Structures are given as C-alpha cells and as structure tokens.
C-alpha cells in the first residue's frame, strides 16, 4: 500500500521535468512537503473535466469518496486501490474508466513491522528525481458542497520493495503518461459483443501499465520513527537512520 509520501521538488523543477515528458503544465507554487498523509490535498495531473484532452494540475483530497457516500467521509478506507481489480470494483470502476490521473511525488514511505515496532523506510528513484503514481479520482457532491478525491493504485512489490512490504504504488514511466491519461474506456453495451471487445481491449492496454516499477531504478533507506507521526513535517522525516 501507500500511506505517506513526499513532494519537496520546487515547482519550477517539476514544470521542467514534465516538459521533458512532453507535458506543458502550469505548475503552482507548492510548499515542500515531507510527510503527506491521507485526507490532505495532493497535486495531481488530470484531464480537465469536460475539456477533452486538455490537462491541468489539480489539488485533490487523498482518499477516494464514491458518489453514493452519505457524508463524504469515506477517505480513510479508500486511499489505495488494488490495480488488479480496480476496473471491476463498484467504487473504482467508473473513475478507472474515465477519471485517471498522475499523482506527483518524489518519495514515499513504507514500514516494516517487527513485533510491536514499525521501522519506516523512505523509497525514491535512484536518481532522486520526481515520479508519478497512478491515480483515479472521483467527484462527490451534496447541496453546495463538492469534494474531489483520489486513490493511489497499488501493485505487487518489486524485488527492492518486497524486503519492506508486499505491495507498492504503481509508478507510471514518463513515456507512458499520455497513454495513462488519454481517452475514456468505451462502455460495454448490453447484447453488443463488439462493444464488449473494445472495452476489454482498452482495459487491457491500461493494465499493461499497472506493473511493478523496475527495482534497479529505485532506492530505499531506513529513516527515523520521527516520520511515524503525521504531525511531523520537516526534512528530518527523510534523514537516513545511521547506526
């Protein structure tokens, strides 16, 4: 799973990094974040609702709230979605089909449990560059209130992560950003085998991206338990734990 992450890279660097991936985005100034937690707002790249292929950077609440939620407070239980089944689960099926996004990060945390002790590890790219986790987003409305929320898709752990946890976030390579964000999966129609085939083919194309990221491109280091509290938000969170 993925329960905490960082985004400390300056906005100008993020804009340049996305431009190298052929995405020209207007990136807002963001304060450095060292311990992003569920229910907080996170930076996501998505297609602008009702605007076709135009992209934007949006701040979405981490923890997906389905449209049928009575109070809009389902966030804690839906911060992650299993990539293997997201396309068929009622809470995730519709956003997987038409509301996919990239969650911008430059590191994430995972914990190894040893008895009652939880040892935190900080995982990054080997070159410490930003990366994007696969996300799906949803809109919940009630009267005047609107909540746009997001879940991180997860997959089985690669060799590096398997030493820490059995799951990891899906990381989309820059050369596949457009494929992940592009047009909706066409809906299957009752008694229409051809529409079933088109929907299945489009889903399969996306699922090709939902695989463990190469372990040789990643790095991990143990950090102090300072990060365990979501109230702690400083560079100390990512400092390597030394013997």
Domains of the chain: 4-238 (3.90.1680.10)
CA angle 132, 55, 217 (to 5 degrees): 15
Side-chain half-sphere CA neighbours of 140 within 13 A: 19
pLDDT at 121 (0 to 100):
97
User: pLDDT: is 153 or 182 the higher one?
Assistant: 153
Between 2 and 59, where is the model more confident?
Answer: 59
pLDDT for 243: 61
Mean pLDDT, the chain, as a whole number?
92
List, as one string, the DSSP characters of 187-207: PP-TT-HHHHHHHHHHHHHHH
Lowest mean pLDDT among 40-44, 113-117, 175-179: 113-117
Tell me, what's the pLDDT at 100? 97
Taking the C-alpha atoms of residue 203 and residue 161, their distance in angstroms, rounded to an integer, is 26
Q: Mean pLDDT lowest for which of 19-33, 75-89, 123-137? A: 75-89
- Can 237 be counted among the known catalytic residues? no
Express as a percent the part of the chain with pLDDT over 70. 96
Which is more confidently placed, 110 or 198? 110
Catalytic residue among 110, 132, 138, 237: 110
Contact 37, 230 (CB under 8 A): yes
User: What is the structure's pLDDT at 192?
Assistant: 67
pLDDT (tens digit, 9 = 90+) per residue, 8-42?
A: 999 999 999 999 999 999 999 999 999 999 999 99
Residue 135, pLDDT above cutoff 80? yes
Active-site choice (2, 101, 132, 237): 2
Q: Is the pLDDT of residue 68 over 90?
A: no
Position 39 scores a pLDDT of 93
First vs last Cα of the chain: how many Å apart? Answer: 27
Three-state DSSP state, 90: coil
Q: Please indicate whether residue 222 is annotated as part of the active site.
A: no
Q: Which helix (H) or strand (E) holds 181?
A: helix 177-181
DSSP 145-165: EEEEEEEEEEEE--HHHHTT-
Q: Are 136 and 99 in contact (CB under 8 A)?
A: yes
Tell me: pLDDT of 186 over 90. Answer: no
Q: What is the pTM of this model?
A: 0.95
């Amino acid at each position: 799973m993925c329960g905490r992450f960082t985004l400390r890279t300056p906005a100008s660097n993020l804009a340049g990094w996305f431009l190298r991936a052929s995405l020209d985005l207007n990136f807002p100034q963001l304060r450095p974040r060292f311990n992003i937690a569920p229910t907080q707002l996170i930076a996501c790249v998505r297609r602008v609702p009702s605007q076709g292929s135009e992209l934007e950077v949006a701040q979405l609440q981490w923890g997906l709230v389905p449209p049928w939620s009575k109070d809009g407070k389902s966030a804690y239980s839906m911060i992650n979605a299993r990539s293997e089944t997201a396309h068929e689960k009622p809470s995730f099926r519709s956003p997987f089909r038409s509301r996919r996004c990239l969650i911008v990060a430059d590191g994430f945390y995972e914990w190894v449990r040893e008895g009652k002790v939880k040892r935190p590890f900080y995982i990054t790219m080997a070159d410490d560059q930003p990366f994007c986790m696969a996300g799906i987003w949803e809109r919940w409305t009630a009267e005047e209130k609107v909540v746009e929320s997001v879940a991180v898709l997860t997959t089985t752990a690669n060799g590096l992560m398997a030493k820490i946890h059995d799951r990891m976030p899906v990381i989309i390579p820059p050369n596949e950003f457009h494929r992940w964000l592009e047009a909706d999966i066409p809906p299957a129609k009752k008694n229409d085998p051809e529409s079933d085939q088109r929907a299945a083919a489009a889903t399969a194309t996306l699922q090709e991206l939902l695989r463990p990221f190469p372990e040789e491109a990643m790095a991990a280091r143990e950090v102090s338990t300072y990060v365990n509290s979501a109230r702690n938000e400083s560079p100390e969170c990512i400092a390597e734990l030394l013997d």
